[in-house]
């Protein structure tokens, strides 16, 4: 089944329901949204796009995004969303690797991309886009099989060149159904607010909101602006958003400074990187029970585990803090296990590599059989993340295997040290890595962002008071900001290079 049928259904049932917004202003109801997608689909086919072809989306978070995406799907093509913050040369590399036939690009991105690539670039909002919108609509969706490619997701690349994860129609449908079962309900009077890049988790979550006929709101800033989010939430109400943990932290800080209550925020799904207990506790204290956590990766998009709203909020369970530090339990459509380095399942309670299998798991990487064979073993996705499942089924991440620090033969999980540092009121951000050591193999060093310059001795005393002596950093480097990628994930590779340069 072509997942774009969800748009056709909602448009049939509720054509007048508001669909696409730029800020407070409605730009299309569902009838118009569907009609535009079908017209652009007809135009794409007239341009020679065939089922299975790849169509790039190098766009900011604008209302045309979803029109272009559903048009490509309706024509039977797969989309290749590219983060709008990438350099045109990086976008060109992705389009080339994907073998894309055409790319929709929004204003401010199209010119640079056109200069960098031979792929046909279409400016959304430009003259050609207008011609596409006036084209004869495709009479019906192009049929797609469950295993057909739907979304080619280039991993954010915290290491090496990005790889194209093949996301199929079946995977997205499984993800959406799992969302309803494990994450949240969606109603027609709800609002999806896109404040994080639509090329990633925030955008992939559009399908549940299309199926249920909710509103889709694109902030005029085209990005993440706390004051704008609070304003739009108040205006539209019942807002759902996907946020990286750093965004939640920023929203909490701004809300506390300004006295903002977060009225209108219904659900903030966070994930994509570690959320520290002190940060989420503060966020819940301020905004109330609006948070749900998910853990996933492009290879099993948004749906390996979920930590429910009640688990995030509950402080009565004897294990509430451990649960809050976990990423929750397996989502309905995946089987979860912990494996040894050869992929053999390990008993409960042991630390090992997190493995997932089920309908939401990718069939492999785009034209990369070697990487696919490494990531997929006997149907299991080897996530590259280390973790531990407790007897109640809660999974706690223990850092990616490459981030684990082994000092004197003992495993040290950077996350634990980071959690400890962050409980200090003057520490804003912390990232812990291993430094080569002639005797111990590695020792622990911390990069910290502090409110004011801090004495390393004070940081050390704080660690000594909270974690085992052997885990405490042997050096603290205070910095103004941690290096992050376009999705807000801390780049430990960059910290390692910084460390190398310093030695
Ligand atoms: P990506 O494929 O770019 O979405 O990155 C996925 C990776 O982000 C995972 O393999 C994890 O290492 C990390 N990640 C995702 N969700 C969480 C979470 N809730 N907590 C901690 N790390 C996460």
CA of 305 to the centre of ligand 1 (A): 11
Q: Which of 490, 7, 456 is nearest to 207 (CA)?
A: 7
CA of 271 to the centre of ligand 1 (A): 7
Best mutation site among 151, 297, 404 for ligand 1 pocket (most ligand atoms within 8 Å of CB): 297
Ligand 1, atom 22, residue with closest C-alpha: 273
| Ligand 1 proximity of 279 Cβ (cutoff 6 Å) | no
Q: What is the pLDDT of residue 211?
A: 98
Cα–Cα distance, 473 to 416 (Å, whole number) = 11
On the question of pLDDT at 330 being above 60, the answer is yes
CA of 349 to the centre of ligand 1 (A): 21
Tens digits of residue pLDDT in 450-484: 999 899 999 999 999 988 888 999 999 999 999 98
Best mutation site among 385, 387, 403, 414 for ligand 1 pocket (most ligand atoms within 8 Å of CB): 385
CA of 294 to the centre of ligand 1 (A): 9
- Is residue 484 a contact partner of residue 83, using CB atoms and an 8 Å limit? no
Mean pLDDT (whole number) for 43-66 = 98
Q: Which residue has the tokens 């017209």?
A: 39
Which atom of ligand 1 lies closest to the CA of 400?
A: 12
Ligand 1, atom 6, residue with closest C-alpha: 297
Helix (H, G, I), strand (E, B) or coil at 35: helix
Q: What is the mean pLDDT of the chain?
A: 94
CB hemisphere CA count around 374 (13 angstroms): 6
399 or 60: which leads in pLDDT: 60
On the question of pLDDT at 159 being above 70, the answer is no
| Ligand 1 proximity of 157 Cβ (cutoff 6 Å) | no
Ligand 1, atom 23, residue with closest C-alpha: 273
Residue 31, C-beta contacts closer than 8 angstroms, at least 6 positions apart: 11, 15, 16
| Ligand 1 proximity of 293 Cβ (cutoff 6 Å) | yes
Ligand 1, atom 3, residue with closest C-alpha: 156
Cα–Cα distance, 81 to 55 (Å, whole number) = 8
| Ligand 1 proximity of 385 Cβ (cutoff 6 Å) | yes
Cα–Cα distance, 58 to 424 (Å, whole number) = 41
- DSSP letter string, 419-446: HHHHTSTTEEEEEEEEEEETTTEEEEEE
CA of 325 to the centre of ligand 1 (A): 14
CA of 196 to the centre of ligand 1 (A): 15
| Ligand 1 proximity of 400 Cβ (cutoff 6 Å) | yes
What are the sequence ranges of the domains in the chain? 5-389, 404-502
Q: What is the pLDDT of residue 160?
A: 59
| Ligand 1 proximity of 107 Cβ (cutoff 6 Å) | no
Residue 253, C-beta contacts closer than 8 angstroms, at least 6 positions apart: none
Ligand 1, atom 4, residue with closest C-alpha: 297
CA of 10 to the centre of ligand 1 (A): 32
485: left (phi over 0), alpha (psi -120 to 50) or beta: beta
Q: What is the pLDDT of residue 161?
A: 73
CA of 396 to the centre of ligand 1 (A): 12
Residue 348: which pLDDT band, with cuts at 50, 70 and 90?
A: confident
Q: What is the pLDDT of residue 281?
A: 97
Q: What is the pLDDT of residue 438?
A: 83
Q: What is the pLDDT of residue 194?
A: 98
CA of 490 to the centre of ligand 1 (A): 11
The pLDDT > 90 percentage for the chain reads 84
| Ligand 1 proximity of 490 Cβ (cutoff 6 Å) | no
Mean pLDDT (whole number) for 421-429 = 94
Cα–Cα distance, 453 to 297 (Å, whole number) = 36
Residue 156: which pLDDT band, with cuts at 50, 70 and 90?
A: low
Q: Which superfamily is assigned to 404-502 in CATH?
A: ANL, C-terminal domain (3.30.300.30)
| Ligand 1 proximity of 156 Cβ (cutoff 6 Å) | yes
Q: What is the pLDDT of residue 435?
A: 93
| The model scores a pTM over 0.85 | yes
99 or 410: which leads in pLDDT: 99
Ligand 1, atom 15, residue with closest C-alpha: 272
Tens digits of residue pLDDT in 72-100: 999 999 999 999 988 898 899 999 999 99
- Range with top average pLDDT, 176-190, 335-349, 392-406: 176-190
Query: By mean pLDDT, which of 120-129, 144-153, 342-351 is the weakest?
Result: 342-351
Distance in Å from the first CA to the final CA of the chain: 56
Cα–Cα distance, 408 to 296 (Å, whole number) = 32
CA 49 distance to own-chain centroid:
29
| Ligand 1 proximity of 272 Cβ (cutoff 6 Å) | yes
Ligand 1, atom 20, residue with closest C-alpha: 274
CA of 350 to the centre of ligand 1 (A): 20
* Domain 5-389 fold: Rossmann fold (3.40.50)
On the question of pLDDT at 401 being above 80, the answer is no
Q: Which residue has the tokens 């376009």?
A: 486
Please indicate whether the domains covering 5-389 and 404-502 agree at the CATH topology level: no
CA of 438 to the centre of ligand 1 (A): 32
Helix (H, G, I), strand (E, B) or coil at 464: helix
Torsions phi, psi of 263, nearest 5?
-60, 135
Cα–Cα distance, 417 to 431 (Å, whole number) = 9
């Amino acid at each position: 089944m072509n997942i774009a049928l969800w748009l056709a259904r909602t448009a049939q049932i509720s054509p007048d329901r508001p669909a696409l917004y730029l800020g407070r202003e409605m730009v299309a109801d569902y009838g118009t949204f569907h009609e535009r997608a079908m017209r652009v689909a007809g135009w794409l086919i007239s341009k020679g796009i065939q089922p299975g072809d790849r169509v790039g989306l190098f766009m900011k978070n604008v209302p045309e995004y979803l029109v272009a995406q559903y048009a490509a799907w309706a024509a039977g093509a797969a989309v290749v969303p590219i983060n709008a913050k990438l350099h045109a040369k990086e976008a060109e590399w992705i389009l080339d690797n994907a073998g894309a036939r055409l790319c929709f690009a929004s204003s401010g991105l199209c010119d640079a991309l056109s200069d960098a690539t031979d792929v046909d670039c279409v400016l959304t909002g430009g003259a050609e886009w207008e011609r596409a919108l006036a084209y004869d609509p495709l009479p019906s969706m192009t049929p797609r099989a469950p295993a057909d490619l739907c979304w080619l997701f280039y991993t954010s690349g915290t290491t090496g060149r990005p790889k194209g994860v093949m996301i199929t129609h079946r995977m997205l449908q499984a993800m959406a159904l799992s969302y309803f079962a494990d994450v949240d309900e969606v109603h027609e009077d709800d609002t999806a607010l896109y404040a994080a890049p639509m090329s990633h988790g925030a955008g992939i979550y559009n399908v549940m909101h299309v199926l249920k006929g909710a509103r889709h709101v694109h902030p005029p800033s085209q990005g993440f602006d706390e004051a704008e989010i609070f304003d739009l939430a108040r205006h539209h109400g019942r807002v759902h958003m996907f946020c990286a943990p750093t965004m939640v932290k920023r929203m909490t800080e701004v809300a506390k400074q300004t006295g903002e209550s977060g009225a209108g925020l219904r659900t903030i799904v966070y994930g994509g990187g570690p959320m520290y207990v002190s940060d989420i506790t503060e966020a819940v204290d301020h905004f109330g029970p609006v948070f749900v956590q998910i853990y996933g990766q492009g290879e099993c998009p948004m749906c390996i585990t979920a930590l429910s709203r009640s688990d995030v909020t509950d402080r009565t369970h004897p294990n509430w803090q451990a649960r809050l530090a976990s990423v929750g339990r397996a989502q309905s459509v995946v089987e979860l296990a912990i494996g040894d380095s050869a992929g053999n399942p390990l008993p409960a309670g042991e630390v090992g590599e997190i493995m997932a299998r089920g309908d939401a798991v990718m069939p492999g990487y785009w034209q990369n059989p070697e990487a696919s064979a490494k990531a997929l073993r006997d149907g299991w996705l080897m996530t590259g993340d280390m973790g531990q499942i407790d007897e109640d089924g809660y999974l706690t991440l223990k850092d990616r295997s490459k981030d684990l620090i082994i000092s004197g033969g003992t495993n040290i999980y950077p996350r634990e040290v980071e959690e400890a540092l962050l409980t200090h009121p003057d520490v804003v951000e912390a990232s812990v890595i291993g430094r080569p050591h002639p005797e111990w193999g590695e020792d622990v060093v911390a990069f910290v962002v502090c409110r004011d310059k801090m004495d390393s001795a004070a940081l050390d005393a704080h660690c000594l008071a909270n974690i085992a002596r052997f885990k405490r950093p042997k050096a603290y480097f205070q910095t103004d900001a941690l290096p992050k990628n376009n999705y807000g994930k801390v780049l430990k590779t960059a910290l390692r290079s910084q460390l190398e340069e310093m030695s």
